[in-house]
């Protein structure tokens, strides 16, 4: 290899290391603000909690529990700090080239909503209209989600909406494993900043990614899980409901559980 090529490879490697250090530094800053005084190895708490009378055990779902009780304080970011952290994160994500979807996207679809939301919906990936407009859930499935939100007496602006993938997969194909692995840290960090009381995972990809499981959405839906300090409930994605309207009743049952938890503060 010629010395100019070696020089250019060296420059690329240096740039990559600097970029990684910047990401790590931002993460440590954020965790300090959140009161985390240790390096968090895995932010996902994968412990299933009882819902109603039944404790259902699915060993494939569960990893070792991470007891953060003595390690995290209850320090919350203020609304303005959340806005600032989300802005910084969005700036990073807009420049992200960690997977091939950066080449075909029109817009990065970061997320939208109340940074202090008690309820956060996490879907799969942007579709055609989301990619065009840079906002999640604006197509037909998004209109249905808006109706679902209004059915429990809330407005779209009361909640926070995001997807696991921030860029649209071509032809709305399913996300692949590499894309999920590369992109999910962005939504995990969004959740860390917003700290909703309930996360509603829409569809199999969001549910499996956040719960770190391979179980089907049929198995996962309608049950409460613990995720960080929030409850997580999975249900069908509104795009699935457009194709399978008979399952709207099941989503209504699930979303009523979310409504009741928000009203009563217990699952």
Using CB under 6 A, pick the residue from 102, 112, 152, 154 that binds ligand SF4.
Answer: 102
Note the Cα 37 to chain centre separation in Å: 23
The answer to whether the beta carbons of residues 192 and 40 sit under 8 Å apart is: no
Distance CA 112, CA 92 (A): 16
- Identity of the residue, 86 or 99, whose beta carbon is nearer to ligand SF4 in the bound complex: 99
Closest distance of CB 127 from ligand SF4, Å? 14
* Shortest separation between residue 134's beta carbon and ligand SF4, angstroms: 12
To which H or E segment does residue 123 belong?
strand 119-123
User: Cα separation of 258 and 179, whole Å?
Assistant: 29
- Dihedrals phi, psi of 221, to nearest 5 degrees: -65, 150
**Mask of contacts with ligand SF4, 178-207, x by CB under 6 A?**
-x--xx------------------------
Residues 6+ apart with CB under 8 A from 38: 71
* Nearest-approach distance from CB 204 to ligand SF4, in angstroms: 18
Supply the minimum distance, in Å, between the C-beta of residue 182 and ligand SF4: 4
CB of 86 to ligand SF4, least distance (A): 15
- State phi, psi for 36 to the nearest 5 degrees: -90, 120
Question: 85 or 179: whose CB is closer to ligand SF4?
Answer: 179
The first and second tokens of residue 154, run together, are 């809330």
**Rg of the chain over all Cα atoms, to the nearest angstrom:** 19
Cβ 179 to ligand SF4, closest distance in Å?
6
What distance lies between CA 42 and its chain's CA centroid? 15
Q: Which of 77, 93, 161, 180 binds ligand SF4 (CB under 6 A)?
A: 93
When binding is defined by CB under 6 A, the residue of 30, 36, 44, 99 that contacts ligand SF4 is 99
Using CB under 6 A as the binding rule, whether residue 98 contacts ligand SF4 is answered as: yes
Phi-psi region of 52 (alpha: psi -120 to 50; beta: other; left: phi over 0): left
Which stretch, 49-57, 95-103, 149-157, 208-216, contacts ligand SF4 (CB under 6 A)? 95-103
Q: How far is the CB of 11 from ligand SF4 (least distance, A)?
A: 22
Of the candidates 205, 257, 240, 263, the residue with the CA atom closest to the CA atom of residue 49: 257
Please, which residue, 106 or 146, has the CB nearer to ligand SF4? 106
Q: Does 109 bind ligand SF4 (CB under 6 A)?
A: no
C-alpha to C-alpha distance for 140 and 238, rounded to whole angstroms: 9
| Distance from C-alpha of 232 to C-alpha of 48, rounded to nearest angstrom | 10
* Interacting residue with ligand SF4 among 45, 62, 83, 96 (CB under 6 A): 96
- Scan residues 68-87 and list those touching ligand SF4 (CB under 6 A): none
Sites of contact with ligand SF4 (CB under 6 A): 93, 96-99, 101-102, 108, 165-167, 179, 182-183
């Amino acid at each position: 290899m010629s010395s100019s090529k070696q020089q250019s490879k060296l420059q690329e490697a240096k740039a990559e290391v600097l970029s990684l250090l910047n990401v790590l530094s931002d993460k440590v800053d954020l965790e300090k603000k959140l009161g985390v005084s240790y390096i968090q190895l895995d932010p996902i708490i994968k412990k299933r909690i009882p819902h109603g009378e039944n404790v259902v055990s699915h060993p494939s779902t569960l990893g070792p529990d991470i007891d953060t009780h003595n390690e995290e304080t209850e320090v919350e970011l203020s609304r303005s700090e959340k806005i600032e952290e989300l802005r910084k994160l969005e700036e990073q994500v807009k420049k992200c080239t960690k997977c091939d979807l950066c080449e075909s996207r029109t817009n990065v679809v970061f997320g939208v909503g109340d940074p202090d939301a008690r309820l956060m919906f996490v879907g799969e990936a942007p579709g055609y209209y989301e990619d065009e407009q840079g906002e999640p859930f604006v197509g037909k499935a998004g209109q249905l989600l808006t109706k679902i939100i209004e059915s429990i007496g809330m407005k779209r602006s009361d909640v926070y909406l995001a997807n696991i993938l921030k860029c649209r997969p071509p032809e709305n194909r399913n996300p692949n494993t590499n894309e999920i692995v590369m992109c999910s840290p962005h939504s995990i960090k969004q959740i860390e900043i917003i700290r909703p009381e309930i996360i509603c995972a829409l569809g199999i990809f969001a549910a499996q990614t956040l719960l770190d499981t391979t179980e089907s959405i049929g198995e996962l839906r309608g049950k409460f899980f613990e995720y960080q300090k929030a409850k997580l409930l999975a249900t069908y994605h509104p795009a699935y409901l457009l194709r399978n309207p008979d399952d709207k009743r099941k989503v209504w049952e699930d979303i009523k559980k979310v409504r009741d938890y928000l009203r009563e503060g217990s699952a």
